[in-house]
Chain A
């Protein structure tokens, strides 16, 4: 979509240049200068269109090839699977003659940790983006924005270690308190790992929230910054306070970008591997839909088993899990795109 837009913008910019080359010239038909210029621009246009279309096709085929690869590799294992692939909590590939694997728990843990991360990161990112674009004095804006961006550069493994050794223990009292007082709500009920150990979805979700915060913030900051000045001034001239101005112009204008940015962050959280692998404790019983569960996400399970990828059939089981993750991220992206596009057309 981006590619197409770029092509269109460039085409129209070039043709405009071609037509308006010389304001004092005669009508273009009789202008030898105009014709030569136009031909040159047409060639540049064609070249650019080819390049853009070519890269578009390349990307699409690469993605499709990945999908096909995953499916081909996973198929024999799915055929040999003795458990229900969608609803089983088992993931046992030790005996190649008797594969038993299902994605239920993986899906639950993946979605819950990512959703929890989003619930924490979205309001934070919104606040930071508003602060940076609307409230912070210029002297603060730069360093603060820089710090947020730097969060994106920290390696995942560092986040994982910080999560399990610093954040997890630190949050244990909070987790225990929530479990004690809100435990009657299923998602805060006691899960399948020890809360005191800290290796829960609760901890992992907060680590993920910190990791996706910079993406959501930077996208949101960018769209907020682009709110048209004339609308901001229109609101202020009506006697809007700063916050009222933000509510009537900045937020409606930036809404789609904020949602799209959040979906990007969600995509990142769904696929995060090492940090989650380090944080989450192994669970011995099925997932209970509590944030105090442990276990594996798609990505962390696959990574944890990488050394076993020797025999094709057990390996195929993990690839099947990878395929589901692949589809999941696609669905998330499609939703993000729909939201972003729908909004733009309304404007």
Chain B
């Protein structure tokens, strides 16, 4: 299941603007990899490149290779829809489908993939909701619209929706920025749980969170306005937070940044 990701010489553009410059990194399977760095350094852009969501933005394109277990997801024969079924994603702001019920939200991906068996869908929905630590709160109103939940609940619903399709890789872009500390801890526990089966890449602004949940950390930085973001350092999380190779990393982590 869980796959490794190799990013090779990747440049990422929005039209003419190069947002991320020449990144090469290696995301190991069944581990949590965190991307950290100041706002605008290209973390989200990098993340969205890993499941071909970047190209959804008009004019956006990617140069270089992203290998999923050795297979280039940017090869011309690869269907981006297939990539996104394999590499799931949770967004920064919760985005459940507002007109769908909670249950239908969770199984939306499965339905797209062709699962029709109602009983099976119900089972997976429960499993995914339990996995996302939301089951107890919504089990009595599964047929109510997903838009009627609180922000934190909505985000957990989106996590449930992403894990319901059992992807090989799970990408999370600041998944906890809308959550209270208890839900955040629950999600972090969930991430530690999920990494037994999945490869996880998470973007976070929360240093403690990166230190708590991740095994590997990539620090991105942007030299100035209008310049592309760069991967400054990619290392074991322990090393990044105790004894990083780069001075810039040290400065950012200790809050002496900018």
Contact, CB under 8 Å: B88 / A252 = no
Q: Assuming the A-B contacts A239-B109, A239-B113, A240-B112, are A234 and B95 also in contact, with contact meaning beta carbons closer than 8 angstroms in the complex?
A: yes
Q: Is B235 at the interface (CB under 8 A from chain A)?
A: no
Contact A230 B97 (CB under 8 A): no
Whether the pair B112, A233 counts as a contact (CB closer than 8 A) is no
CB distance from A188 to the nearest CB of B (A): 37
Q: How large is the interface on A (under 10, 10 to 19, 20 to 34, 35 or more residues)?
A: 20 to 34
Stretch of B63-71, B79-87, B124-132 at the chain-chain interface: B79-87
B158 at the interface (CB under 8 A from A): yes
B81 and A240: CB pair below 8 A?
A: yes
Does A241 contact B56, Cβ atoms closer than 8 Å?
no
Q: A241-B81, A244-B112, A347-B147 are in contact. Are A236 and B53 (CB under 8 A)?
A: yes
Q: Cβ of B112 and Cβ of A238 under 8 Å apart?
A: yes
Among candidates B58, B81, B85, B97, residue contacting A234 with C-beta atoms closer than 8 Å:
B97
B84: which of A232, A239, A248, A347 is its contact (CB, 8 Å)? A239
A346 to B91, CA, bound (A): 24
Instruction: For A347, give the chain B residue with the smallest CB separation.
Output: B98
Q: Is B161 an interface residue (CB 8 A)?
A: yes
Assess whether B99 is interfacial by the CB under 8 Å rule: yes
Top 9 A-B residue pairs of the complex, sorted by shortest distance between their CB atoms: A239-B85, A238-B109, A234-B95, A237-B89, A230-B95, A252-B99, A239-B84, A240-B112, A241-B81
- CB neighbours (8 Å) of B113 from chain A are 239
Q: Chain B residue with minimal CB distance to A255? A: B99
B144-177 residues with Cβ-Cβ distance < 8 A to A are 145, 147, 158, 161-162, 165
How many chain B residues touch the partner (CB < 8 A)? 28
A240: chain B residues at CB < 8 Å are: 81, 112
Within 8 A of B (CB), among A138-175: 138
Residue A262 interfacial (CB < 8 Å): no
What residues on A are CB-neighbors of B88 within 8 Å? 237-238
B93 at the interface (CB under 8 A from A): yes
A332 in the interface (beta carbon within 8 A): no
Instruction: Determine the chain A residues whose CB is within 8 A of the CB of B56 once the complex forms.
Output: 232-233, 236
Q: CB of A249 within 8 A of chain B?
A: yes
Which residues from A are CB-within-8-Å of B199?
none
In Å, the complex CA distance between A253 and B147 comes to 13
Q: Which residues of A from 45 to 104 have beta carbons under 8 Å from B?
A: none
**What would be 9 A-B contacts, judged by CB atoms less than 8 Å apart?**
A230-B91, A230-B93, A233-B53, A237-B88, A238-B108, A238-B162, A239-B85, A241-B112, A248-B108
Q: Which residue of B lies closest to A241 (CB)?
A: B81
**How distant is A99 from chain B, measured CB to nearest CB, in Å?**
54
Central interface residue in B89, B95, B109, B165, by most chain A CB within 10 Å: B95
Inter-chain contacts of B145 with A (CB < 8 A): 346
Q: Mark A332-347, 1 if CB is under 8 A from B, else 0.
A: 0000000000000011
Q: A248 vs B99: C-alpha distance in the bound complex, in angstroms?
A: 9
B 216-231 to A, binary, CB cutoff 8 A, 1 in contact else 0: 0000000000000000
Task: Bits for A218-237, please: 1 = Cβ < 8 Å to B, else 0.
Answer: 00000000001011111111
A239 touches B97 (CB 8 A): no
Of the residues B85, B98, B112, contact of A231 by C-beta under 8 Å = B98
| CB of B172, distance to nearest CB on chain A (Å) | 11
Smallest distance from the beta carbon of A324 to chain B beta carbons, Å? 38
- A249's nearest neighbour on chain B, judged by CB, is B97
**Bound-state Cα–Cα, A113 to B98, Å:** 37
Residues of chain A with a CB closer than 8 A to B53's CB: 233, 236-237
CA distance A170 to B143 in the complex (A): 52
The smallest beta-carbon distance between A169 and chain B, in angstroms, is 45
B51 at the interface (CB under 8 A from A): yes
Q: Per-position contact with A for B45-82: 1 when CB-CB < 8 Å, else 0?
A: 00000010100101000000000000000000000011
Which residue among A138, A234, A253, A347 has the maximum number of chain B CB atoms within 10 Å of its CB? A234
Q: Contacts A233-B53, A239-B112 given: A347-B165 contact, CB under 8 Å?
A: no
Contact A237 B97 (CB under 8 A): no
A233 and B108 contact, CB distance less than 8 A: no
Assembly CA distance A211 to B25 (angstroms): 58
CB neighbours (8 Å) of A234 from chain B are 91, 95-97, 158
Whether B91 lies near A239 (C-beta < 8 A) is no
Contact with B along A236-278 (1 / 0, CB 8 A): 1111110010001100110000000000000000000000000
B204: shortest Cβ distance to chain A, in Å?
19
In addition to A230-B91, A234-B91, A236-B84, 20 A-B residue pairs with Cβ atoms within 8 Å of each other are: A138-B58, A230-B95, A231-B95, A233-B56, A233-B91, A234-B95, A234-B158, A237-B51, A238-B85, A238-B161, A238-B162, A238-B165, A239-B81, A239-B165, A240-B81, A241-B112, A252-B97, A253-B99, A347-B99, A347-B147
Q: How far is the CB of A47 from chain B (nearest CB, A)?
A: 37
CA distance A244 to B161 in the complex (A): 16
Of chain B, the residue at the smallest CB distance from A234 is B95
Query: How far is A230 from B94 in the complex, measured between Cα atoms in Å?
Result: 8
